[in-house]
Amino acid sequence: MLVDRIDSYLGFPAVDPHGDPIPKADGTMSVSEGFLLDAALEGACIRVIRVLDQSSEFLKQLTEEGIEIGTVGDVVGANQQHIQLQLEQEAVITLTHEMAGRILVNMVEAS
């Protein structure tokens, strides 16, 4: 079946480039276990697993900040207005809570 060959060619991905689940051949989908980045506490090590706002403007902002699915970072600051992330080997970036509220993350062990 064509769908099976495409799935095999792509390496059987569970999510699309924005982190949204892709249904399996039997119609089931994996569930993203995570929380919104704006709820992360200072000191947390997180991995981006899904972007909830898929507008081209928002995705462009994330790309400019170096954020994509799989990006790992440490929350180095969190207050009522902003979340600050230290991305792998990069400078600290600052996101508004509005932006962080559109990014789903999970906890990872600090490296």
Identify the bridge partners of residue 107 per DSSP, sorted by sequence position. 46
The pLDDT tens digits for 87-101 are 987 789 999 999 999
Do the Cβ atoms of 61 and 99 come closer than 8 Å?
A: yes
3 state DSSP class of 83: strand
In the chain the domains, ranked by start, together with CATH numbers, are: 1-30 (no CATH), 35-107 (2.30.30.90)
Q: Which two tokens stand for residue 58?
A: 């928002």
Rounded alpha-carbon distances, angstroms, from residue 31 to 2, 17, 21, 79:
25, 16, 7, 29
Residue type for position 24: K
Provide the whole-model pTM.
Answer: 0.76
The pLDDT tens digits for 22-35 are 777 777 766 667 99
